[in-house]
């Protein structure tokens, strides 16, 4: 059975969101970002007690899933939640857990 035909686009999107949220550090980052409009990469590095390279990988996962967005403002990157995709994730998971 081929993946493309069996799973709906919504199921695939939900899996991307779930994978991105499958690590406690990523959930922590999203929680931090949900409490403020945006946060700079340097501030996140001070807030999250992990190596900057590891933080960068976690941010990349969240960004690739579309849960956060980053705006390059040299020498920093400003990260914010992607509110549109958070609303979509909420809707998809609400349907799953009804």
Q: What is the per-residue pLDDT across 26-76, written as a single tens digit (0 to 9) for each?
A: 999 999 999 998 999 889 999 999 999 999 999 999 999 999 999 998 888
Q: Residue 68: which domain range?
A: 8-96
Contact (Cβ atoms closer than 8 angstroms) between residue 23 and residue 17: no
**Inside any domain, residue 3:** no
Question: What pLDDT was estimated at residue 57?
Answer: 97
**Inside any domain, residue 39:** yes
Question: What pLDDT was estimated at residue 13?
Answer: 96
Of the pLDDT bands very low, low, confident and very high (cuts 50, 70, 90), residue 3 is low
Are β-strands 68-73 and 76-81 bridged in parallel, bridged antiparallel, or unpaired?
antiparallel
As for how many domains the chain has, the answer is 1
User: For residue 10, what are the contacts with CB-CB under 8 A and spacing of at least 6?
Assistant: 92, 95
**Inside any domain, residue 81:** yes
Q: Report whether pLDDT(20) > 70.
A: yes
**Inside any domain, residue 50:** yes
CATH of the domain at 49: 1.10.10.10
H or E stretch at 73? strand 68-73
**Inside any domain, residue 59:** yes
**Inside any domain, residue 2:** no
């Amino acid at each position: 059975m081929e993946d493309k035909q069996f799973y709906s686009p919504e199921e695939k999107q939900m899996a991307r969101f779930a994978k991105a949220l499958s690590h406690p550090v990523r959930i922590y980052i999203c929680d931090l970002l949900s409490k403020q409009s945006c946060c700079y990469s340097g501030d996140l590095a001070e807030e999250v007690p992990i190596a900057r390279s590891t933080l960068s990988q976690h941010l990349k996962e969240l960004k690739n899933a579309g849960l956060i967005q980053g705006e390059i403002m040299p020498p920093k990157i400003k990260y914010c939640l992607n509110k549109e995709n958070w609303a979509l994730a909420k809707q998809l998971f609400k349907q799953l857990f009804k």
